[in-house]
Structure 1
Amino acid sequence: METVFGIDVSKSTSSIAVLADTIKIKEFKINNDLIGFERLKSNLHSFTDPKVVFEATGVYSRRLAYFLQCNNVSYVQLNPLQAKKELDGLRKNKTDKNDAFHLAKTQFILNRQMAKMQNPIYVELLDEDRFYQELVSDFVSEKNRLHRVLQLTFPEIEQLMSSPTGPWYWNFVKEFPIPSQVLKFNIDQLNAIAYECSNEKGGHEKSNDIALKLFNLAKISFSSVNPNSLTVEQVKYHANRLIEIDKLKKKVIKLLVKLSKKLPEYNTLCSIPGIGDITSVFLIAELGDIRRFSNSNKLNAYIGIDLRHYESGNYTASDRISKRGNPYARKTLYKAVLNMVSVARYQPTHINDYYRNKKKQSSKKETKKIAIASISRLVRTIYHLVIKNETYDYKIASHARH
């Protein structure tokens, strides 16, 4: 007797339907907590080799998946698009109970493949990577906010260094958010403060140049707020936030690299010219264990670079990528291809050879389209190297291409 548990997971509860050989034998509801999961465990143990089917609902289904992994229960986790396609033809009334029932019933028809257990490191890498993406987003927002308020207090300070960014610059902004604050000190005092702001990394000579430039900028600046304005405090706040976020970004990257080095594919990815430590860890985090894909086409679909073809009557549209996969992975791979092109003079790859040939053949400026096509070749290369546990060799790759 084959038994399937269909589970519809929501924020705090889960509806469960139990089917034995397509016949519904039980329905119940649990809270998504230890008591609820123990009740589910008790019901699972009532049957021989039960299977579980549920739809991924973001963070809400993560606890259920982890519970099933800890108890060695086979399960199928459907992505929302797949679940919608498979269930829309079955359910007339959409309720949690009906969804749970149809998830279980379709398993008997479709016989979906069970999820492959991944090393917990991949889950942790993905969590840390997404946290890093949040930090990057916050970082950009804070830079824009700082720029905006500086236009009211001390816009000229953005000319202090070659680029208005970095811990040294932000420390200056914190110390001197308004010109009148600079003019309280003489050059020698500013030089000492500049050296301190650099955390003693800039050197006395450079600190002196910065101090003199700061003093001259303050003399010509005109602020639109008074020194006691709350806007001055906003400048300090945003500068301090940028310092904190910058430190945290570096800390997360360090942890990502440390975790990734425990996995065999880290050295494989780093062996590909144009893919460094940071790109490697982002790819490992977003792609997970590549070995769970049976071929590179499925990996393409997961990333969202599989081609969609549209044809109707005499009209045939140009093929486009689906973009239904992982946007973070696509972005990282796109940057990786551009990096490979930029370092090709010293570190050639067959990916760059393809890219250059397509550029020569193209009469239009289709850089992005060619880069996307190059991504597909890069994904095939990565898949092959990881599956075979090999490192990149330009001669072998070029020979295989021909």
Structure 2
Amino acid sequence: MIAVGVDVSKSKSMVAILSSDGEIVAEPFEVYHVNDSLDNLITNLLSLNDDIKIVMEATGHYHLPILKKFLEANLFVSVMNPYLMKKYGDNQIRKAKTDRKDAMRMATYALEKAYTLIPYTSLEQKYLDLKFLSRQYNQRISTKVKNRVYLGNLLDETMPGIENILMAKTTKPENNMLYNFINKYQSFDTIKKMGEKKFLNSYTKLAEKNGCRNYQMKALKIYELATNSITTRGTDTYTNIAIQQCLNVLIQAEIAANEILVQMQSLAQTLPEYPIVRGMCGVGDRLTPRLIAEIGDVRRFTSGKALNAFAGNDAPPFQSGQFESQNRHISKRGAPSLRKACYEVMQCLKMHKPQDDPVYLFMIKKEEEGKPLNVAKMAAINKFLRIYYARVMELYK
């Protein structure tokens, strides 16, 4: 057997090759992620005429070019969790880290664990595309949240308290009354200069255009708030530019996120598990494609417990001698995006309170036992993922 360790970086990799008895076949050497360099590497490996086991770490998207070439050549490749490889290398007193040592460590791991390595298999393209869209969606949401905070900071100086009256609830930014109000008036100083009658007429036209209700009462509240508030930034050019730019970024991020979500929904509806996941309590049109994207093909998990471990929602046992811990925190060594999506499912269950849903009843039971609210939610997520695994797996039995 030939054991190959590949330490991946952005545009090149370090490769080490060992024989079955631990002898160094090739000292660590660099290969670049271009066709010529990778073709030479594959040719040299195939010329050894032996069973080849390749181990590399999952490094975002940097490992994809070399992984693609290996799979096209029908070579055995196992893509390992970087944390697992890090712990495997923690058996030395004197710590040292170089690409050469990392490549040798992976080759040694391939040699030692040859019979337990799991080959990498490409998921169906739909799952890959859905996961890609989910990553893009999360990036847009991250941009939206950051700029929402920036906008809130600006409003504290120009329109303090306006968010308590006008709340951004709509999913369509073009119909968002708060955004349109800020864009029109910029600061409470503008409203003070207009006077009550002129402002009420102006606000009425804006509210009717956006389809708002009870706008007369809100208009009076806003005018009273404006006259009693102390603004630290007025209607100067610098403030107006900052508010306008922040609004533009925020609106574009929301529009982009909505467009990506529509594509995710269209793609997820072609998968066989979509109606099952959509039918689960607390899972709506927005959460269904996100859950499927983060979990992927459920058949790659051996059990519901393995799915919870993938989400980082497991609490591994901790015991030594006569000590055995009874109060363990979740590991959080998993997919944070999946945990976040599941947490949103729990929030939906708390809002709608379905009395016939076992996950909701389990969460309430834990709360009644005195568990903190977040602990009860994470325990309910554990049950939710086990039910998810069982129901979807019924499709393939």
Give TM-score, length-normalised by structure 1.
0.82
Q: Deviation of residue 313 (structure 1)?
A: 5.2
Aligned position for 1:155: 160
Aligned position for 1:397: none
Query: Could you report, residue by residue, the CA deviation over 1:293-322 in whole angstroms, capped at 9, with x for unpaired residues?
Result: 222222222112222333345543224222
- Aligned to 1:389, the other structure's residue is in SS state helix
Aligned position for 1:202: 211
- Residues 390 and 102 of structure 1, relative CA distance in 2, 3 Å threshold: closer
- Residues 134 and 162 of structure 1, relative CA distance in 2, 3 Å threshold: closer
User: Which of the residues 83, 86, 104 maps onto 1:84?
Assistant: 86
Alpha carbons 1:194, 1:207 under 8 Å: kept: no
Query: Could you report, residue by residue, the CA deviation over 1:184-243 in whole angstroms, capped at 9, with x for unpaired residues?
Result: 594597258616xx7x4417x877777676666555555434433412221222222221
Aligned position for 1:190: 202
- Residues 181 and 354 of structure 1, relative CA distance in 2, 3 Å threshold: closer
User: Which of the residues 104, 116, 129 maps onto 2:121?
Assistant: 116
Letter aligned with residue 37 of structure 2: G
Structure 1 position 141 matched with structure 2 position 141: no
Q: Deviation of residue 90 (structure 1)?
A: 7.3
Aligned position for 2:39: 38
Aligned position for 2:235: 227
Alpha carbons 2:165, 2:218 under 8 Å: kept: yes
Alpha carbons 1:268, 1:390 under 8 Å: kept: no
User: Which of the residues 58, 62, 65 maps onto 1:63?
Assistant: 65
Aligned position for 1:366: 372
Q: Give 5+ residue unaligned stretches, structure 1.
A: 392-402
Letter aligned with residue 333 of structure 2: R
Name the stretch that deviates more: 29-38 or 82-91.
82-91
Q: Deviation of residue 9 (structure 1)?
A: 0.9
User: Which of the residues 164, 179, 182 maps onto 1:170?
Assistant: 179
Query: Could you report, residue by residue, the CA deviation over 1:122-142 in whole angstroms, capped at 9, with x for unpaired residues?
Result: 333233323322322322222
- Residues 148 and 94 of structure 1, relative CA distance in 2, 3 Å threshold: closer
- Residues 390 and 94 of structure 1, relative CA distance in 2, 3 Å threshold: closer
Q: Deviation of residue 79 (structure 1)?
A: 0.8
Letter aligned with residue 83 of structure 1: M
Aligned position for 1:105: 108
Letter aligned with residue 316 of structure 1: E
Aligned position for 1:29: 30
Aligned position for 1:375: 381
Alpha carbons 2:281, 2:354 under 8 Å: kept: no
In 2, distance between residues paired with 1:179 and 1:344?
Answer: 41
Aligned position for 1:394: none
Question: How many residue pairs are counted as aligned between the two chains?
Answer: 383
In 2, distance between residues paired with 1:132 and 1:102?
Answer: 36
Identity of aligned residues (%): 27
Aligned position for 2:247: 239
Q: Deviation of residue 272 (structure 1)?
A: 1.3
Q: Deviation of residue 54 (structure 1)?
A: 0.7
- Residues 193 and 74 of structure 1, relative CA distance in 2, 3 Å threshold: farther
- Structure 1 runs, 4 residues or longer, greater than 6 Å off: 205-213
In 1, distance between residues paired with 2:357 and 2:396?
Answer: 16
Give TM-score, length-normalised by structure 2.
0.82
Q: Deviation of residue 181 (structure 1)?
A: 4.0
